[in-house]
Amino acid sequence: MYICNNCWNESLKWTGQCSFCKEWSSLVEFKESKVKWSSSGEKKQLTKMSDVSSQSEEKITTLSQELNNLLGWWITLWSIILLSWEPGIGKSTLGLQLTKLVDKNIIYISWEENENQIISRAKRLNIHSEKISLLCENNLENILKTLESSTSDIVVLDSISVITSNNASGSAGSISQVKEVAEKIVDFWKSTNTTIIIIWHVTKDGNLAGPKTLEHLVDTVLFFEWERYEEVRILRSLKNRFGSTGEIALFKMTEVWLEDIKNPGLEFISSENDDTTPGSSLSITLEWNRALVVEIESLTTYTKFGYPKRSTRGIPSPKLDLILAVLWKYSKVNLDSYDVYVNIVRWIKVDEPGIDMSIGASIISSKLGKPIKRNTIFIGEISLTGRIKNCFWIEKRIKEAVKLGFENIIIPDVDIKLKEKVHLIKIKNIWELVEKIAL
């Protein structure tokens, strides 16, 4: 059998290009260990559900609200968590930082960094708990032997990409090694009451296809989302056996470690734009159940030659084409000979319709040279018929906008049932939106 080094897709014959991820020359031969065929089985004891003690419910609440929120309010003891993404994003910092966030016995296993480096990092993080032990080792058998006689609650393995087993061929990080190491760790985990946090490096384009096999073995898969130019780190759960997936934890990278972003509401807007800046408009989006105010910036300029340019960052480019088409057809704001650039500031990505009206507003504002006041927020979807449509959880968005101090809340013409007295401005269609901005 052959396995793709890039995405771990299995294939029966060798091909120059992986049929799944399209990577070239990535297929390597993989020999599964021969299993003896046997028809006899062993009779096992059944366990009555009612006899199972509630110990499997034990949870650890961390000092980080963000982490608690992401994990379903706690780390479940006896779980395996995979923490993954590119080098340099902060996995080791978070792994070590955990020792400050929970009051448990922790073993931190590392090989990439030597003892002195880890100790100096721990000093920076102000960690001096008696409950933390360090092991610098990369041999799986040595690690497991050491862990057997330890009484730790949590083991952080930093990272699985550098650990090798005597029982697998290939170098550290190769498929055969990672498979063997992961399986043995899971066997160990099943026989103990330990929480294991496995750190795994992926490359920029590797997404999470790489550790698919690992994904199946673990309870929770967490990965960081980031932009190199921003200090914000978003930790997402891709799989969570004990909580909901799609949750996020928001952290800010400081000089030392990752700090919770407690009030993310206004964290992602630009501090440079003000009431006099045309082309900027605010909206409120929901990241799972978290409301974030996002800022859309647009620039429209006359096309000097050739086709007009369309460029987006943070929103899918077909959305821009659609909004421009609707603008032209129903409001006569014609941008046929204008280049149009649309960004969401601070490198946030939003792919939901609730910010459509705000995108439209920022484009109109740039084209007309009419700034929009910063106390204004737009919530609503633009339909193909030029109408402004309702969007999901509109009440929740309005409430959040009020809490954050917005006074002009512009929404579609829908019935809103709110206990609070809120001044809402209702807009039926794109033409009314243009008129509102042109005022």
Which residues here bind ligand TYD, judged by CB under 6 A?
87-93, 253-258
Q: In the complex, what is the shortest distance from the CB of residue 208 to ligand TYD, in angstroms, rounded to a whole number?
A: 15
Residue type, 247: E
Judged by CB under 5 A, which of 26, 92, 105, 376 binds Mg ion? 92
Kind and range of the H or E run holding 110: strand 106-110
Nearer to Mg ion, 92 or 99 (CB): 92
Q: In the complex, what is the shortest distance from the CB of residue 402 to Mg ion, in angstroms, rounded to a whole number?
A: 42
Q: What is the 3-state secondary structure (H, E, C) of 307-335?
A: CCCEEEECCCHHHHHHHHHHHHHHHCCCC
| Residue 195 touching Mg ion (CB under 5 A) | no
203 HSE (CA, 13 A, CB side): 7
Nearer to ligand TYD, 112 or 215 (CB): 112
Nearer to Mg ion, 198 or 379 (CB): 198
Angle at which helix 175-190 crosses helix 140-148, to 10 degrees, equals: 10
Could you tell me which stretch among 87-95, 170-178, 308-316, 359-367 binds Mg ion (CB under 5 A)?
A: 87-95
* Three-state secondary-structure class, residue 293: strand
Q: Which residue is nearest to ligand TYD (CB)?
A: 90
Q: Which residue is nearest to Mg ion (CB)?
A: 92
Could you tell me which stretch among 53-61, 85-93, 286-294, 398-406 binds Mg ion (CB under 5 A)?
A: 85-93
Angstrom distance (rounded) from CA 41 to CA 15: 39
Nearer to ligand TYD, 47 or 254 (CB): 254
Angstrom distance (rounded) from CA 152 to CA 170: 30
Q: Are 11 and 1 in contact (CB under 8 A)?
A: yes
Nearer to ligand TYD, 100 or 436 (CB): 100
143 HSE (CA, 13 A, CB side): 30
Angle at which helix 317-331 crosses helix 356-368, to 10 degrees, equals: 60
Q: In the complex, what is the shortest distance from the CB of residue 85 to ligand TYD, in angstroms, rounded to a whole number?
A: 7
Residues that contact Mg ion, how many (by CB under 5 A): 1
Nearer to Mg ion, 221 or 355 (CB): 221
Q: In the complex, what is the shortest distance from the CB of residue 95 to ligand TYD, in angstroms, rounded to a whole number?
A: 7
Interaction site with Mg ion (CB under 5 A): 92
